[in-house]
Amino acid sequence: RLVGLIPAAFLEVVTLLGNGTVLAVVLRTPALRKAIYLAHLCLVDLLAAVSVMPLGLLAAPPGLGTVYLSRGQCRAARFVTATLVSACTLTLAALGLERYRYILHPLRPRPRPPPILVLGLVWGVSGLLGGLSLLGRPSPNCSLVAGPPGPFRPLWAILAFALPALLLLVSYGSIFRVARLAALRPPPPAPGPRPRSDSLDSHLSILPPRLASPHLVGGKAALTLALVVGQFLGCWLPFFAACLLPGRWSIGVEVALTWLAYSSFAAHPFLYGLLQRPVREELSRLARAWLRAVPGPWHCPPGTWLPQSFLKLLRGDPESPALDPSAGQEANTMTAEGPGLDRGETT
C-alpha cells in the first residue's frame, strides 16, 4: 500500500499544479481565451483531482487507504467517478474536432456549433452515464471495475471510450494525411530567407518543431497522432476492458488499472497545453516577470557567471560586470591598503 501511495500522491500533485498552471495562463492571456475546450479540460481534470483521486488515495481497497465508505457514500463516489471520467474523454474528443477544424478549414465560413452547446451536450451525456452507474446492485468495494455486469458498463464503454477514441483517430488522422500530402508537394522557390510561420497551424501545433523527425514525411503530425491517440488508448483501454470483464481481476490489478487511467489527468496539461507554442510563450513571460520581482542571483548581468568574470569579481577588478567602476576602485584601494599585505601576498 505504501509503494502505491507514493506514485499516486505524486500524480495528484502533478495534476493540481499542471492543470492549475495551464488554466491560469489561458485565463490571463487574451489571445488564448478562445481556447474554451482546453480550459474546460483543465477544469474537469482539476475537479477529478479534488474528488476522484483523493477517494482513490483514502478509500479502502480498491483504493489505497483504509476508510470504508457507507452505501450512500459509495453510490456518490460511483456517480462522481463515472460523470467526470465521461466528461474528460468527451472533452478530449471535442478538443480534437476543434483543432481539426482550425487547422484544415481555417478560412471556410462554415458554421460551427457554439462551444457552450457542445459542452452542455458533454455534461448531459456525462450526467446520464453517471446516473446509469447507480442502477443495479453496487459492488461491495464501491468499484466500477468489479461487480455484477449490467447495461451501464457496455454503454459507458461505448460513449465514454470507443466514441472519443474514434473521433480522436479520425481528426488527428486527417490532420496527418493533409500534412503528409503537403510535405510531398514540392515547395515553390523562395528568393529570400523564409520568414517564420505565423499561420494558425503553427499556433495550434501540439509539438515544437525540433521534436518532428526530418526523415519522416509529415513527421510532426505523425508524432502528434501517436502521442494523442497512444496516450488515450494506453491510459483508458485497460481500464474500460476491465470494466467490460468484471470479476476477473485481483485487487492489485484493479488498483494498477485505476491509477493508470487517473494518470491521464496529469498528462493532459503537458500534452494539450505546454506543448502549444502560445501557452509556452505566455508561461515563459510570466516566469520571467516573476523572476524579476523576486531577488536572487539571476539579477546579475549575463557575463557575471563566466569563469574569468568570476575571478575578476573576487579580485575586485573594476572591469568586472558585477561591479561598477567606483565599487571596483574602492575594492582595489582596500586591498592595496590592507595591513601587513604587500602586492605579492595580495595576489
pLDDT at 219 > cutoff 90: no
Range of the domain at 159: 1-186+218-283
With respect to residue 331, please indicate whether it lies within any of the assigned structural domains. no
Overall average pLDDT of the 17-43 stretch: 90
Torsional sign, CA 66, 71, 73, 74 = positive
Predicted confidence at residue 33, as pLDDT, reads: 79
- Residue 185, judged by CB atoms within 10 A of its CB (0-12, 13-18, 19+), counts as exposed
> CA 320 → CA 179, 310, 311, distances in Å?
52, 8, 9
Reference 48, options 257, 223, 258, 326; nearest CA is: 258
Distance between start and end Cα atoms, the chain: 62
pLDDT of residue 274: 83
Query: In sequence order, what DSSP letters do the residues of 27-79 get, joined into one string?
Result: HH-GGGTT-HHHHHHHHHHHHHHHTHHHHHHHBSTTSSS-BPP-HHHHHHHHH
Please say if the pLDDT value at position 287 is more than 90. Answer: no
pTM: predicted TM-score of the whole model, two decimal places? 0.75
Window from 88-92, 270-274, 338-342 with minimum mean pLDDT: 338-342
The predicted-structure confidence for 119-153, as pLDDT tens digits, reads as follows 999 999 999 999 988 886 666 667 777 666 677 88
Average pLDDT, integer, range 262-285 = 88
Kindly give the interhelix angle for 71-104 and 163-184, rounded to the nearest 10 degrees.
20
Q: How many domains does the chain have?
A: 1
Does some domain include residue 210? no
79 and 180 Cβ atoms separated by less than 8 Å: no
Is 114 contained in some domain? yes
Q: Is residue 328 part of a domain?
A: no
| pLDDT confidence bin for 233, thresholds 50/70/90 | very high
Q: Give bridge partners of residue 59 from the DSSP assignment.
A: 67
Rounded mean pLDDT of 49-70? 82
Residue 166 sits in a domain whose CATH number is 1.20.1070.10
At residue 276, what are phi and psi to the nearest 5 degrees?
Answer: -95, 135
Q: Quote the percentage of the chain above a pLDDT of 70.
A: 67
In a domain, 54, yes or no: yes
Cell triple for residue 40?
474546460
pLDDT-based confidence at residue 220 (cuts at 50, 70, 90): confident
- Whether 207 is in a domain gets the answer no
| Measured distance CA(254)–CA(261) in Å, rounded | 11
In angstroms, the CA 274 to CA 223 distance is: 16
More confident residue, 159 or 103: 159
Alpha helices, H only, the chain: 2-28, 36-50, 52-58, 71-104, 115-132, 152-157, 163-184, 200-204, 219-244, 251-268, 277-293, 307-315, 325-336, 343-346
Q: What is the dihedral of CA 330, 335, 339, 343, to 10 degrees?
A: -140
Inside any domain, residue 192 = no
Mean per-residue pLDDT of the chain: 76
Whether 48 maps to a domain, the answer reads: yes
pLDDT of residue 285: 85
The grid cell for 324 is: 561598477
At position 149, the amino acid (one-letter code) is P
Q: Which residue has the cell 488515495?
A: 57
Q: Supply 151's cell numbers.
A: 447495461
Residue 41 is which amino acid?
L
Q: How confident is the model at residue 221 (pLDDT cuts 50, 70, 90)?
A: confident
Is the distance from CB of 255 to CB of 61 less than 8 angstroms? yes
